[in-house]
């Protein structure tokens, strides 16, 4: 057994973390000396269109990060004109309740909505009665107003309901900075500002994801129907996002019972069915959920999708693309009256169908166009304890998670018959969040992971493992009214073991800082920087070689990220601009033939422009990005960049929607377009072709049938034949890429009860 160590950085980790924590805590205690009224004076970003007040209050609670309570009879029929802008909670409530005849009061428990008494006061009796209905829960993101969230992209529950996503590509429709290539769920990969998702800290319900199994299939197989929210931190992520946040973070949250129950309801459920014309795909699913008066809640969800191969826009059948997805989610929780919440969740997503021999490629022109079975399954188990009060010095959070991705595929080699890859991760964290005011906090904690990547066939059985222990501290402060700061430090010690038992130890520090300055009520400037230690990434299972020699060691990867941006708001319009750059030194790029290291230097840089307009019951927004990828100083291609990055180039994404409140009708559209990209021509490769696609939808909720929702979609309206920009292989002359589906019509019916 060979052992290679690099412990010089490790001896400094504990001391540096103690110093960083002390500095952060001392700064925050200074902030705590401010008057108690700081909570009420804090400003938040609100974007709530005109709608029924009962529907607006949950969104208000999430955006303000507080609990909102009201009697059901008061708000059920009331309408609001909405509220937008950066305002205090009190000012935003005044606008939200204008013309409703209702008033509000702020207390330690949050906001209580009550009936206004004659003369403008609060009606007698309502000031002392407990609210009979909890209308809006406190935001799941305790730090939604922090500087490190100023550059985040958040897909809310409302976004997901409106987009009705069938795949991850649909989840990020209208968002140019996040690209999803692959054509079908089993092959889809996410790229954030050009960086592939394995270089980000990815969690589902707080559990670390270790899903790098096979370069021909998806990294994180997930059913969007399970989700209630997704947050993406492009480039710069806080220290408490977890280890390995080299290019940012992706945070997935699955739905809870409280997210699906109407105000005042204790139990409910729904059944849903849909049909897609392209591929004759039938999807059926349903969920039941409930809660009790003593704090218990539970949810069960199931979905199955089956179909045939779809056709691309050129009329050709794309072999091996028939739907075959099954997903299950079970969740249970108990929360005490004083905010102690215990939650247990279990999730499984499986795709077990015939796919192209290389699932992310239509075919290689110099190889037979064969198909084979892919049995891909991801499972996630998470146990969480959290103090949800978010007040004072003691708000502990404990997370223990287990994640497994399992892939079995037949092999063309008659002596092997079947090959199998499995990645697992046991991870956890213990942290405490100290809240001095709602906008001033320090989080300190310890986290760990124990990851394994294993490969097995008739003649081979091997694995790599990595264990990591991390300490971290993150301060989020608002020293003056218009200035928000966030800065953090973490130290990690990693123990790596190769397929032949070679042990390599590395340790390193990571730091980050973000600032958001509200120059005026309508103008915000923001910036972020991070330098991140990533250790050694585990090799992809299907390229492992039992003959690898690790004696030369493997360098740990380190990244350097910078973001700058501005946002301007005027009369319902929002304009944004930003630039970004990420540099990776010694990113691992192992090869079956060339060895386990293959360290490379990678860089992505570019800019993003955006504009949006909201008009109460509707909105329109568009974003444009130009991203360049270089590997070892040359334009990077999708092969060497499989687990590093993609040649994104210039992309446009847009979304528009309008809700007709009086008729129960919602209409909308999404657009995606990629410009021609010839960055790789100088390297002897093909030009990436331009494309554009338009998707339309309409959703109707009739008053005459309570709980019924009908939806229709026409996707890829102009029947374009194209592959998403981040789909593998478009620059190679011997690759027919996986094309996106051509024009399709989808019909869906959902009945809630």
pLDDT digits (tens, 9 = 90+) for 401-429: 999 999 998 765 555 557 899 999 999 99
- CA 639-640-645 angle, to 5 degrees, is 90
pLDDT of residue 693: 97
Cα–Cα dist 724/738, whole Å: 9
DSSP 8-state class, residue 186: G
**Pick the residue with more confidence: 195 or 414?**
195
Cα–Cα dist 554/535, whole Å: 9
The CATH number of the domain holding residue 357 is 2.40.170.20
pTM: 0.85
**How does residue 219 score in pLDDT terms, banded at 50, 70 and 90?**
confident
> And the tokens for 391?
């007040």
Enumerate helices (H) and strands (E) in the chain, giving the number of each.
Answer: 8, 42
Cα–Cα dist 69/91, whole Å: 17
Containing 63, the helix (H) or strand (E) segment is helix 53-64
Cα–Cα dist 165/599, whole Å: 37
Nearest residue to 626 via CA among 281, 261, 179: 179
Does 452 share its domain with 387?
A: yes
Q: What is the mean pLDDT of residues 359-380?
A: 88
Asked, for residue 12, whether it belongs to a domain, the answer is: no
Does 209 share its domain with 126?
A: no
pLDDT of residue 134: 33
Where among 110, 136, 162 does a domain terminate?
136
Asked, for residue 3, whether it belongs to a domain, the answer is: no
End-to-end CA distance of the chain: 62
Q: Which of 67-76, 154-163, 332-341 has the lowest mean pLDDT?
A: 67-76
Place of tokens 């929780």: 333
**SS3 label, residue 266:** coil
Q: Give yes or no for a contact between 104 and 113, defined as CB atoms under 8 angstroms apart.
A: yes
Where among 80, 112, 136 does a domain terminate?
136
Nearest residue to 155 via CA among 201, 204, 224, 89: 224
Asked, for residue 1, whether it belongs to a domain, the answer is: no
- Summarize pLDDT for 231-253 with one digit per residue, the tens: 999 999 999 999 999 999 999 99
Does 120 share its domain with 159?
A: no
Positions of E strands within 221-280: 227-234, 248-254, 267-276
Cα–Cα dist 246/447, whole Å: 17
- Summarize pLDDT for 687-744 with one digit per residue, the tens: 999 999 999 999 999 999 999 999 999 999 999 999 999 999 999 999 999 999 999 9
Asked, for residue 28, whether it belongs to a domain, the answer is: no
Does 614 share its domain with 736?
A: yes
> And the tokens for 126?
């309502």
The packing angle between helices 53-64 and 89-97, to 10°, is 170
Q: What is the mean pLDDT of residues 142-166?
A: 93
Q: Give yes or no for a contact between 721 and 354, defined as CB atoms under 8 angstroms apart.
A: no
Asked, for residue 10, whether it belongs to a domain, the answer is: no
Does 494 share its domain with 626?
A: yes
CA 152 to chain centre: 10
Asked, for residue 30, whether it belongs to a domain, the answer is: no
Does 78 share its domain with 180?
A: no
Instruction: Give the mean pLDDT of the chain.
Output: 88
Asked, for residue 22, whether it belongs to a domain, the answer is: no
Does 493 share its domain with 363?
A: yes
pLDDT of residue 13: 43
Q: What is the mean pLDDT of residues 195-215?
A: 93
Nearest residue to 48 via CA among 176, 142, 158, 164: 158
107 forms bridges with which residues in the sheet? 110
Place of tokens 């003593």: 294
Q: Which of 54-63, 381-390, 455-464 has the lowest mean pLDDT?
A: 54-63
Cα–Cα dist 702/88, whole Å: 36
Rounded (10°) CA dihedral 15, 21, 27, 33: -130
Look at strands 201-204 and 248-254 and give their pairing.
parallel
Does 421 share its domain with 504?
A: yes
What is the span of the domain harbouring residue 73? 43-136
- Summarize pLDDT for 102-117 with one digit per residue, the tens: 888 876 556 777 765 4
Does 557 share its domain with 675?
A: yes
Other CB atoms within 10 Å distance of the CB of residue 650: 18
Cα–Cα dist 447/243, whole Å: 8
Longest dimension (CA), the chain: 87
**How does residue 395 score in pLDDT terms, banded at 50, 70 and 90?**
very high
Q: Give yes or no for a contact between 641 and 631, defined as CB atoms under 8 angstroms apart.
A: yes
Does 644 share its domain with 697?
A: yes
Burial of 405 (C-beta count, 10 Å sphere; 0-12/13-18/19+): buried
Phi, psi of 657 (to 5 degrees): -155, 150
Cα–Cα dist 269/288, whole Å: 4
Q: What are the residues whose beta carbons fall under 8 Å from the beta carbon of 208, sequence distance 6 or more?
A: 201, 202, 242, 401, 403, 425, 427, 449
Q: What are the residues whose beta carbons fall under 8 Å from the beta carbon of 129, sequence distance 6 or more?
A: none
Q: How many domains, the chain?
A: 2
Does 79 share its domain with 182?
A: no
**How does residue 197 score in pLDDT terms, banded at 50, 70 and 90?**
very high
pLDDT of residue 411: 62
- Summarize pLDDT for 481-537 with one digit per residue, the tens: 999 999 999 999 999 999 999 999 999 999 999 999 999 999 999 999 999 999 999
Q: What is the mean pLDDT of residues 92-98?
A: 88
Cα–Cα dist 753/413, whole Å: 53
The CATH number of the domain holding residue 119 is 3.55.50.30
Where among 106, 136, 166 does a domain terminate?
136
Q: What is the mean pLDDT of residues 462-485?
A: 97
Q: Give yes or no for a contact between 572 and 548, defined as CB atoms under 8 angstroms apart.
A: no
Other CB atoms within 10 Å distance of the CB of residue 622: 17
Does 405 share its domain with 549?
A: yes
Asked, for residue 16, whether it belongs to a domain, the answer is: no
Cα–Cα dist 305/319, whole Å: 17
């Amino acid at each position: 057994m060979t052992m290679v160590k690099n412990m010089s950085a490790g001896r400094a980790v504990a001391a540096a973390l103690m110093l960083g924590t002390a500095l952060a805590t001392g700064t925050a205690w200074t902030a705590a000396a401010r008057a108690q009224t700081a909570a009420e004076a804090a400003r938040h970003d609100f974007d709530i269109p005109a709608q029924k007040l009962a529907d607006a209050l949950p969104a208000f609670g999430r955006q303000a990060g507080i609990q909102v309570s009201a009697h059901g009879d008061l708000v059920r029929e009331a309408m609001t004109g909405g509220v937008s802008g950066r305002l205090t909670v009190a000012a935003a409530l005044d606008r939200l309740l204008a013309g409703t005849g209702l008033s509000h009061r702020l207390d330690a428990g949050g906001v209580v909505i009550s009936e206004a008494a004659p003369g403008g006061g609060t009606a007698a009796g309502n000031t002392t009665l407990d609210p009979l209905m909890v209308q809006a829960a406190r935001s799941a993101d305790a730090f939604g107003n922090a500087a490190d969230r100023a550059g985040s992209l958040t897909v809310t529950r409302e976004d997901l309901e409106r987009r009705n996503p069938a795949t991850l590509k649909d989840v990020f429709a209208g968002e140019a900075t996040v690209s999803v290539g692959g054509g079908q769920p089993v092959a889809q990969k996410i790229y954030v500002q050009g960086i592939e998702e394995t270089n980000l800290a990815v969690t589902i319900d707080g559990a670390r994801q270790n899903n790098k199994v096979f370069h021909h299939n998806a990294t994180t197989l997930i059913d969007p129907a399970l989700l209630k929210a997704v947050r993406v931190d492009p480039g710069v992520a806080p220290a408490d996002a977890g280890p390995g946040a080299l290019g940012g973070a992706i945070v997935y949250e699955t739905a809870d019972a409280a997210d699906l129950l109407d105000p005042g309801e204790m139990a409910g459920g729904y059944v849903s069915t849909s049909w897609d014309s392209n591929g004759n795909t039938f999807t059926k699913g349903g969920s039941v959920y409930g809660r009790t008066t003593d704090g218990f809640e539970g949810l069960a969800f199931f979905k199955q999708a089956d179909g045939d191969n779809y056709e691309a826009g050129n009329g050709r059948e794309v072999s091996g693309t028939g739907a075959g997805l099954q997903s299950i989610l079970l969740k249970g929780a108990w929360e005490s009256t004083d905010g102690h919440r215990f939650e247990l969740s279990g999730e499984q997503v499986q795709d077990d169908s015939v796919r192209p021999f290389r699932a992310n490629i239509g075919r290689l022109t110099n190889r037979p166009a064969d198909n084979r079975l892919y049995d891909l399954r991801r499972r996630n188990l998470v146990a969480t304890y959290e103090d949800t009060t978010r007040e004072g010095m003691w708000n502990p959070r404990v997370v223990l998670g287990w994640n497994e991705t399992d892939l079995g595929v037949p092999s063309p080699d008659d002596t092997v018959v079947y090959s199998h890859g499995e990645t697992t991760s046991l991870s956890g964290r213990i942290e405490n969040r100290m809240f001095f005011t709602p906008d001033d906090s320090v989080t300190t904690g310890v986290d760990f992971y124990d990851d394994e990547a294993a490969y097995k066939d008739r003649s081979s059985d091997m694995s790599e493992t990595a264990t990591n222990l991390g300490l971290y501290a993150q301060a989020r402060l608002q020293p003056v009214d218009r200035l928000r700061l966030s800065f953090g430090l973490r130290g990690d010690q990693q123990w790596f073991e190769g397929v032949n038992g070679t042990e390599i130890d590395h340790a390193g520090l990571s730091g980050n800082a973000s600032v958001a300055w509200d120059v005026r009520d309508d103008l915000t400037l923001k910036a972020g920087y991070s330098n991140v230690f990533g250790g050694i990434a585990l090799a992809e299972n299907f390229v492992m070689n039992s003959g690898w020699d690790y004696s030369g060691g493997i360098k740990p990867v380190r990244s350097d990220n910078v973001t700058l941006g501005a946002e301007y708001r005027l009369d319902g319009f929002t304009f944004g601009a930003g630039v970004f750059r990420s540099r990776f030194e010694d990113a691992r790029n192992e090869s079956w033939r060339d060895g386990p290291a293959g360290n490379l230097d990678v860089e992505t840089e570019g800019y993003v422009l955006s504009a949006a307009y909201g008009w109460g019951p509707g909105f329109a927004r568009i974003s444009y990005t130009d991203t360049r990828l270089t590997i070892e100083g040359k334009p990077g291609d999708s092969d060497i960049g499989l687990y590093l990055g993609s040649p994104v180039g210039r992309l446009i994404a847009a979304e528009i929607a309008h809700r007709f409140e009086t008729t129960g009708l919602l209409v909308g559209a999404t657009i995606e377009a990629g410009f021609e990209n010839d960055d790789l021509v100088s390297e002897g490769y093909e030009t990436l072709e331009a494309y554009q696609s338009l998707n339309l939808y309409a959703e109707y909720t009739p008053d005459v049938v309570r709980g019924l929702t009908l939806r229709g979609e026409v996707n890829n309206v102009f029947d374009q034949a194209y592959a998403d920009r981040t789909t593998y292989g478009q620059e190679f002359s011997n690759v027919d890429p996986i094309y996106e589906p051509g024009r399709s019509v989808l019909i869906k019916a959902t009945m809630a009860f």
